[in-house]
């Protein structure tokens, strides 16, 4: 009989007898702790350590390769939840829609911006200190009371987001994709503030136009067949012109410009250890520019 002194046990389970060693750290491991390796077995800790040392695959734009459009699904979910909130409480649209400058009376009515403010009216919108509208308006859509287009507004935007968002997310990776989406939405809102501050604007169209610009830039960078890409971009530009009387062309154009700029940086910054740093710096620079433009316009409106 084997003496107790020669009995070996698993390094993680002291009461389990083991005669197999990890081929990497040489510690004894039990069947529960064994992981098959190219040669022999490894322990759980060595497998995790090995996974950390393996270089993660990256796309041509520096993002980690993703197989599921998680961010796109989350964005669609947020838009749908916001729309349901509008249906339950219509005041949500009034409070969080993108509005540069407006006045509200004690009865809750809306009035055009004037300065100084007429007696009994209070400022609202970005110029009234509600800067969150720059982003929240991009998650709201026209209510059903606006007629057929009220329902089509969110349906068309979410279908577009699903179709193009999956492609862009797969190429950019989740972090860059979120940055692109939010900066495009913000760019659209800022251009609305600059050119049409008294307009009440809702919709994800600005962000989606940014994704459209990204789709075009990525196609050029990857050497893809541009016939389909060009048709899609031309369709976006035609929709921007046709919808000028229905939605905000300013938001569309602002999102298109911001998205195009961000993706140009993602696509053409040379590979290297500083690529991520440069891309981050440019995104922060664009964010700073948009904040400065917003602050300047608010100062002009309230002066």
State how far the alpha carbon of 238 is from the alpha carbons of 13, 128, 209, 253, in Å.
67, 34, 12, 12
| Rounded distance between C-alpha atoms, residue 209 and residue 187, angstroms | 11
| Rounded distance between C-alpha atoms, residue 173 and residue 67, angstroms | 10
| Rounded distance between C-alpha atoms, residue 238 and residue 232, angstroms | 10
Q: Given strand 122-124, what is the order of strands in its sheet?
A: 110-111, 102-104, 122-124
| Rounded distance between C-alpha atoms, residue 169 and residue 94, angstroms | 32
At 191, phi and psi to the nearest 5? -70, -35
DSSP states of 191-224 as a string?
Answer: HHHHH-TT-EE--SHHHHHHHHHHHHHHHHHHT-
State how far the alpha carbon of 203 is from the alpha carbons of 6, 67, 172, 207, in Å.
72, 28, 23, 9
| Rounded distance between C-alpha atoms, residue 5 and residue 18, angstroms | 13
Domains of the chain: 4-51 (no CATH), 70-302 (1.20.1540.10)
| Rounded distance between C-alpha atoms, residue 205 and residue 190, angstroms | 14
For residue 58, the SS3 value is: strand
Query: What's the first-to-final CA gap in the chain, in angstroms?
Result: 95
DSSP type of residue 144: G
Ranges of the chain whose pLDDT falls below 50:
1-4
Nearest to 136 by CA among 222, 195, 201, 73: 201
For residue 238, the SS3 value is: helix
Length of the chain counted residue by residue: 303
| Rounded distance between C-alpha atoms, residue 97 and residue 123, angstroms | 15
- The pLDDT tens digits of the residues spanning 83-117 come to 999 999 988 988 999 998 888 888 777 787 877 77
Tell me if 9 sits within 8 A of 15, measured CB to CB: yes
Nearest to 194 by CA among 254, 142, 262, 131: 254
- pLDDT for res 242: 67
| Rounded distance between C-alpha atoms, residue 221 and residue 236, angstroms | 20
Q: How far from chain centre, in Å, is Cα 188? A: 14
């Amino acid at each position: 009989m084997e003496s107790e002194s020669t009995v070996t046990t698993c390094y993680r389970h002291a009461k389990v007898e083991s005669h197999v060693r990890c081929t990497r750290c040489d510690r004894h491991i039990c069947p529960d702790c064994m992981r098959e390796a190219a040669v022999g077995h490894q322990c759980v800790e060595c497998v995790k350590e090995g996974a950390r040392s393996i270089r993660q695959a990256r796309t041509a734009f520096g993002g980690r390769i993703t197989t599921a459009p998680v961010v796109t699904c989350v964005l669609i979910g947020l838009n749908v939840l916001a729309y349901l909130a509008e249906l339950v409480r219509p005041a949500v649209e009034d409070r969080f829609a993108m509005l540069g400058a407006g006045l509200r009376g004690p009865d809750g009515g809306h009035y055009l911006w004037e300065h100084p403010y007429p007696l009994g009216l209070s400022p609202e919108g970005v110029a009234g200190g509600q800067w969150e509208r720059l982003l929240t308006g991009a998650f709201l859509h026209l209510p059903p009371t606006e007629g057929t287009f009220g329902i089509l507004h969110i349906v068309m935007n979410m279908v577009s987001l699903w179709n193009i968002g999956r492609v862009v997310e797969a190429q950019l990776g989740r972090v860059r994709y979120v940055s692109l989406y939010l900066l495009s939405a913000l760019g659209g809102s800022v251009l609305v503030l600059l050119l049409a501050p008294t307009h009440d604007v809702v919709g994800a169209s600005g962000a989606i136009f940014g994704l459209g610009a990204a789709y075009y830039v990525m196609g050029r960078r990857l050497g893809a067949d541009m016939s389909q890409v060009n048709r899609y971009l031309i369709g976006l530009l035609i929709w921007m012109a046709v919808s000028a009387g229905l939605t905000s062309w300013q938001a569309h154009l602002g999102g298109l410009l911001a998205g195009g700029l961000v993706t140009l940086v993602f696509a053409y910054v040379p590979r290297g250890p500083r690529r991520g740093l440069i891309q981050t710096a440019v995104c922060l620079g664009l964010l700073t520019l948009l904040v400065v433009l917003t602050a300047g316009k608010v100062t002009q409106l309230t002066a």
